[in-house]
Amino acid sequence: MPEMQITVANQIATSAGIAALTIEEAIATMQLAGMSKEAIKLTLLNDLKEGGVLFGAFRNKIKNTVKNTIELSSRISVNATFVQAGVQEYRWVAVGGGKTCPDCEERNGEIGTMEFFETIGLPQSGFSVCTDNCRCILITSGYKGENLDKPLVKQKN
């Protein structure tokens, strides 16, 4: 878990850094346009209050980081349970709302060891076009569920 803590801390720090640079750029642009300090302050406060372009993007990045961390924690736990149970082979199951990325769609149904998938890239590891938006999963290769021949469509709640 310490690796996950480092990853999450880095993601939050990166998001904060990008937000700070974006805010600095916006302030400089407003100053060049001749806006007063008070008008700039009001604009920034309104953006913060309304979740505008500047602060809304930062809020969304943090929200996605938290969501992805919860999902990653769950996957780590499931994978540890599989390993503890002696599972040797896994099947890649592509999951998407009808928008599975080409990298994940190509892997759908692929079978291999955990070491194999760690080498080529686990779901949500950043290897693919969908990066941390990946919703794919590894299941035991012997699982006989329905419709595993094509990517699953995640239903809206």
pLDDT per position as a tens digit, 11-34: 899 999 999 999 999 999 999 999
- Output phi, psi for 91, to 5 deg: -115, 135
Catalogue the E-assigned strands of the chain: 90-93, 95-96, 111-112, 137-140, 152-153
DSSP helix/strand/coil, 40? helix
Q: What is the pLDDT of residue 125?
A: 78
| Domain boundaries along the sequence of the chain | 1-86, 87-157
Q: What is the pLDDT of residue 1?
A: 54
CA distances from 142 to 55, 56, 76, 81, 99 (A): 47, 44, 20, 16, 26
Q: What is the pTM of this model?
A: 0.64
- pLDDT tens per residue across span 73-131: 888 888 888 888 899 999 998 887 667 888 888 888 899 998 999 898 888 877 888 87
What would the mean pLDDT of 58-82 be, rounded to a whole number? 86
Lowest mean pLDDT among 4-13, 38-47, 98-107: 98-107
Contact 129, 102 (CB under 8 A): yes
pLDDT at 157 over 60: no
Would you give the DSSP letter of residue 156? P
